[in-house]
Amino acid sequence: MRAADGKQLYEYSSAFRTKPAFPAGSYDRGLSLVLAAVFLFFLIACQSAFAAMDNADAYLFPGDREPSVQTADVPALVKETADLAAAWFVNQVLDNGLFVYLYDPAAGAYPKGQSVLRQLMATRLLGIMAKNDASLLDLHKTNLSAVMNRWYREDEQGLGFMLEDYRSELGSNAMALRALVASPFFAQYSEKARKLADGICSTQKNDGSFNPYFIFPEQPFDWAYTMAFYSGEATLALVEYYEKTGEKRFLDVAVSAQDFYLSLYVPPVLPNYYPASVPWQTLALSSLYRITKNERYASAIFILNEKILEIQETRGNPGRFTNPDMERYGGTHSSSDGVYTESLAYALKLAIEKKDEVREKMFRRAITLAVQNLSSLQYKKEPLRLKSNQRSAVGAIRVRDNDGFIRIDCVQHALDAFLKIREVW
């Protein structure tokens, strides 16, 4: 409105105001100054925002979300993504010997949080890498010593277990055993490995199932949810220990457990089906099938991994594993994406062995999408300009496309998946 009209703006009534609020012309000048200041602020804010986005696009935005299954070069993409992730991974061991568990690269902050099980999964992967790269042996030795000294304990009967906050989880004990079996320093820890294996066996009940804890927590917990993970992890650990030592009693325990969980988790027993059980059951079933050639195990691998494809997205965020219509299965997380991808790689291997071309094509397509998803979640450049206290994020796999946090198992699971894909593709 023109200055001449200013009187009409500010003279609401003769009872309240009898003259313009400002001298003639001053309102226009004041308004112009205000608008100019607002516009200048807007320009500065936009410039800063665009500069930040240019510097932080890897943090804010997903990568290529338009996968091309027909033209994707999976081996090349796996190599590129895995090499970058591995370079990041081996630089995450702290001075205390443990891995950085959780990192916010945008803030250069280390949020509180810890998981013995996830630390052990990272330890196992580092041990596998050290077998193929002698330069990593000292680092792995330091890390393995740190996790064992910090959490390994024995009871009065000589049974081994991992202690965390006054409880001992079956899953953590299984991962500790797997880490020792995979380590180039197994001989030095062979006695502790046997005690861990015996500790796991001590949790088995007469029907073949396991208790979820060696030492139960005081707080209530979801038994079914917990065992969806731990059952397969424990079975797998015992099979791997048997393969390492040849002690058949551990294989017998594993077979007994697997037969119980086969009837519990594998469709058509749908009330007990839970996606989180699929990867660990698949890895355990694959190991047992390799040893026993029991076709029930092979059939279960196919059934479980075909079922898991129901929650893999093919549009919107292709390749990731989540289903909005099945909220009971939880939201998306790159650690889940990674371990589901690894599971599919085992299913692909079986399909190739059995010359099942239909399933081979199906699993290859799913893995192609899954690999592209994981690669899109990788930091290709620094999310923000590094400060002196910040670690590099390049190579890490963030939690999800709208969450820039890095958790160690997000990278570990992706690397385990890439290792298996390289083996079978």
- Which one has a higher pLDDT value, 15 or 243? 243
Residue 191 has pLDDT above 80, yes or no: yes
Do 278 and 310 fall within a single domain? yes
Closest CA to 256 of 214, 202, 204: 204
Whether residues 1 and 102 fall in one domain: no
Q: Identify whether residues 322 and 378 lie together within a single domain.
A: yes
- Asked if the structure places residue 88 within a domain, the reply is yes
pLDDT at position 8 is 34
Same domain, 259 and 303: yes
- Is 245 inside a domain boundary? yes
90, 100, 139, 143 from 95: Cα distances, Å: 13, 10, 11, 10
Q: What is the mean predicted confidence (pLDDT) over 4-31?
A: 39
Flag whether pLDDT at 184 surpasses 90. Answer: yes
* pLDDT > 90 in the chain, percent: 74
Least confident interval from 68-72, 108-112, 290-294, 391-395 = 68-72
Higher pLDDT, 109 or 26: 109
| pLDDT of res. 28 | 52
Please state, in angstroms and rounded to a whole number, the distance separating the CA atoms of residues 87 and 105: 17
Q: Based on the domain organization, do 315 and 402 belong to the same domain?
A: yes
Mean pLDDT of 146-168: 98
Residue 159 included in any domain: no
| Peptide bond between residue 268 and the one before it cis (omega within 30 degrees of 0) | yes
Give dist(CA 142, CA 4) in Å, integer. Answer: 81
Q: Tell me the average pLDDT across 84-99.
A: 98
For residues 365 and 418, membership in a common domain is answered with yes
Do 82 and 48 fall into the same domain?
Answer: no
**Based on the domain organization, do 252 and 355 belong to the same domain?**
yes
Q: DSSP states of 215-265 as a string?
A: E--SS---HHHHHHHHHHHHHHHHHHHHHHH--HHHHHHHHHHHHHHHHHH
Q: What is the mean pLDDT of residues 77-99?
A: 98
Q: Is the pLDDT of residue 18 over 50?
A: no
Average pLDDT, the chain: 87
- Residue from 8, 7, 44 nearest 24 by CA: 7
Which domain, by its residues, includes 391? Answer: 71-112+214-424
| Mean pLDDT value of segment 121-128 | 99
Same domain? 335 vs 381:
yes
Residues 239 and 305 in one domain: yes
| pLDDT surpasses 80 at 370 | yes
Q: Say whether both 342 and 391 belong to one domain.
A: yes
On whether the CB atoms of residues 380 and 393 are closer than 8 A, the answer is no
Tell me if 138 is assigned to some domain.
no
- What is the pLDDT confidence band of residue 77, given thresholds at 50, 70 and 90? very high
pLDDT for 307 beyond 60? yes
Let me know if residue 200 belongs to a domain.
no
Helix segments in 61-73, DSSP class H: none
Q: Are residues 3 and 108 in the same domain?
A: no
187 inside domain: no
Number of domains in the chain: 2
Assess if residue 132 is contained within a domain. Answer: no
**Residue 61: is its pLDDT beyond 50?**
no
Q: Is residue 177 part of a domain?
A: no
